[in-house]
Amino acid sequence: MSRPSPATPAPVAPLLLAWYDRHARDLPWRAAPGTPAMDPYRVWLSEIMLQQTTVAAVRDYFHRFTARWPTVEALAAAGDAEVMAAWAGLGYYARARNLLATARAVAAAGGFPDTRDGLQALPGIGPYTSAAIAAIAFDRAETVVDGNVERVVARLFAVETPLPAAKRELTALAGTLTPAARPGDFAQAMMDLGATICTPRNPACGICPLMEPCAARAAGVQAELPRRTAKTARPVRDGVVWVALDDARVLVERRPPRGLLGGTLAFPTTGWDGTDLPPPLDAAWEEVGEVRHVFTHFELRLRVRRGAAGGNPARGAWVARRDFDPAALPGLMRKVWALAR
């Protein structure tokens, strides 16, 4: 349910675009306001990296990826393990697998499709990402709604329905604002407004370009919106990880391509991911502590057991310490290494 806006949505686009022309964030994947769009490869790469990840976390990864693979064709030719290692630490590893699948499909097709439907047919590209790429890279008049935009729209129209139930209503309302001219700049302006002005706490309404048409500000409820349904506590899973090492080598394995941490380099584990496996080799294992890690849908407590390298492992393979790069491990396994070494 929403309150009526004190002004029609018509002035929103020109007000916001005028603000964006002066205050747009300087981001490496973004063209300056009013200039030709950035290479679709860079727009797509940034949008995949930014899924459930902050701008601050993505910036360095984006620079490294585009320096190493400056075109979609270069990325398509890269090896799976090479890309997974470069992605390590960014999380949500299905994104990296889909990244390669899409790069190879696009390279084979001779370029990116320029419509939302065409983009959404590619691996790892859903409704939001396809709309964002279509608007930003191809200037299609698509409505782009991320968490920042949901917050702006909920306040602009004083939507009382809590999230996530309000998502459909907020998307429909956002659609009434999307202009035919400069839709890519408008989409990025909405995101910037939510990230820098219309923030979750203490929104800076006094300097907001949309202060006049904002229904929540008029009603004095801007800091309370959007409302959210109370979250249930994350379940806890327990498991064991084994780290076998000495001064010369360390035991690692490549996780299955599908599932949790799919395709990444890891230490052998059991118990937390649906497996029930014995230790990878016969050793005198010493429990050295516990690491905790929060995934989207559960919290993990992983007991770390360390043993001396030796013998033929039942799974995994020995890697020379001089060739072992902890930076190629996902975040969870970096925590394990920091404790075990």
Which residue, among 152, 122, 111, has the nearest Cα to 47 in the 3D structure?
Answer: 122
Residues 294, 329: contact at Cβ < 8 Å?
no
Catalytic annotation on 47?
Answer: yes
Distance, CA of 310 to CA of 148 (rounded, Å)? 52
Residues 119, 130: contact at Cβ < 8 Å?
yes
Q: Is 281 left (phi over 0), alpha (psi -120 to 50) or beta?
A: beta
DSSP character for 172?
H
Q: Residues 47, 142, 160, 253: which is the catalytic one?
A: 47
Q: Give DSSP secondary structure letters for 273-315.
A: SS-----SS----EEEEEEEEE-SS-EEEEEEEEEE--S--SS
Residue 17 CA, chain-centre distance (Å), reads 26
Residues 186, 16: contact at Cβ < 8 Å?
yes
SS3 content of the chain, % helix, strand, coil (to 5): 40, 15, 45
Structure tokens at 146: 């991320």
**Which regions of the chain does DSSP assign to beta strands (E)?**
236-245, 249-254, 265-266, 269-270, 286-294, 299-308, 317-320
Token pair 């902890």 is found at 326
For strands 265-266 and 249-254, give the pairing: antiparallel
Q: Give DSSP secondary structure letters for 66-107.
A: HHH--SHHHHHTS-HHHHHHHHTTS--THHHHHHHHHHHHHH
3-state secondary structure of 22: helix
Question: What residues are labeled active site?
Answer: 47
